[in-house]
A and B are shown apart, each in its own frame.
Chain A
Amino acid sequence: MSETLSYFRQDRLPHIWCPGCGHGTITGALVRAIDRLGLDKNKIMLVSGIGCSSRAVGYLDFDTLHTAHGRALAFATGLKVARPDLKVIVMTGDGDCTAIGGNHFIHAARRNIDITTIVMNNNIYGMTSGQYSPMTPKGMLATTAPYGNSERDFDLAELAKAAGATYVARGTSFHVPMLIELLEQALQNKGFSVVEALSQCPTYMGRKNKIGSAVDMLEWIKGRTVNAKAAAALPPEKVQGKLLIGELHKSSQPEYCDEYLKATAKVRRAWKNIDGGLRGCEQNSD
């Protein structure tokens, strides 16, 4: 970590997350994945929305954008189209990504734009003190679900897959070595990659549902997940009702920026650099 600590804005640490909050573990896993791949720090853009999870980018020493609630993917899409040479990573929460930002998520996946999205899913709105989110399991308590959440469980990975994402995985803040590997794979995929990282919010999810300490929450996460590879060999009753973790989907599809550049090749002005330069097109000459 001493080496990876150089990816942090160390003057901003320690961070504001509560003791035992899983968001720090997931942020650490992302940095380790970036470090292992040896990616150039100056070629990475981190984009986030609003939420405890979205605070992550403020601690990381890359070019970062902390945008409006739910809009991280909208900003990231613009960025990637303008600068396809950059590696764009979105850090978002379950509320940010699946509630207010749900539509952006669907369309980013549909376009298969080369963005890696890491959804820090603590099954609740942490920052605004524990309202239920689309990812809150049925029956669990939240400040806005005092009698238990009556909405059905929702599988974000299935949504991502159906909408057209080309890499979909689920990890947790308990299975950290696996999470690092999944993030490495996601970062290497050219196309829209989603890693849903289950996280723990001891302060709201934990307290509201009397799950206990951060360690008890990690045990809770461990108990509700099963390795996707192992699941194939397990009897159905052991897999029933559990979330699969590991790589869930991978495919190869044309990437949005490539397709866009192809479609606009004839009418595009050739840019030598960001300050302009050579203009190579007959049309639109002003």
Chain B
Amino acid sequence: MSDKKFYRHLIRERYCKGCNICVAYCPKKVLELKDGKVFAARPDDCIGCLMCELRCPDFAIEVKPRDAAASDGADERVVDLQVPPEAHDA
């Protein structure tokens, strides 16, 4: 299992309309809706297939590679919503 790749999910909450498409088509059931917005409930299970990113009609979710160690708390409650999600890639 040493070559397992890890991913994180860049979510633009402002764009997400909670249509459930990404949640339904994630083959690993990584995503969930909470209060009408998507969040990555089990990011470690993500296989990076991009099915959520490509099918999202609202450009609200993106999958990015990450280091195994740098798991950044899955729950969006720990995320500062004042900071645009792209800022972490700058």
A residues in contact (CB < 8 Å) with B: 1-2, 5, 8, 13-15, 17-25, 28-29, 32, 173-174, 176-177, 180, 202, 213-215, 218
Contacts and interface: CB of A to CB of B under 8 A. Distances in A.
B58 A213 contact: no
Interface in B21-73: 21, 24-25, 53-60, 62
Given A2-B10, A2-B86, A2-B89, A15 B58 contact: yes
B54 A19 contact: no
Contacts of A25: 54-57
Contacts, number: 68
Nearest to A18: B17
B9 to A, nearest CB: 12
A52 to B, nearest CB: 12
Given A5-B59, A25-B57, A176-B55, A215 B10 contact: no
Contact of A19 (B17, B24, B53): B17
A32 B59 CA distance: 12
A218 B14 CA distance: 24
Nearest to B63: A1
A24 B10 CA distance: 18
6 contacts: A19-B17, A19-B57, A22-B57, A25-B54, A29-B54, A218-B55
A179 to B, nearest CB: 9
Given A214-B19, A214-B20, A28 B89 contact: no
B19 A20 contact: yes
A19 B24 CA distance: 14
Nearest to A202: B19
Given A2-B89, A213-B20, A173 B55 contact: yes
Nearest to B14: A14
Nearest to A199: B57
Contacts of A24: 56-59
Among A13, A18, A21, A24, chain B packs the most CB atoms within 10 A around the CB of: A24
A28 B86 contact: no
Contacts of B17: 14, 18-20
B21 A20 contact: yes
B57 A23 contact: yes
Contacts of B57: 17, 19-25, 28, 173, 214
B19 A28 contact: no
B37 to A, nearest CB: 11
Contacts of B21: 20, 214-215, 218
Given A214-B21, A215-B24, A1 B55 contact: no
A93 to B, nearest CB: 15
A177 B44 CA distance: 24
Nearest to B86: A2
Among A173, A174, A214, chain B packs the most CB atoms within 10 A around the CB of: A214
Given A2-B10, A19-B19, A13 B59 contact: yes
Contacts of B24: 215
A2 B10 CA distance: 9
Given A2-B62, A24-B59, A19 B89 contact: no
Nearest to A176: B54
Contact of B15 (A2, A13, A29, A215): A13
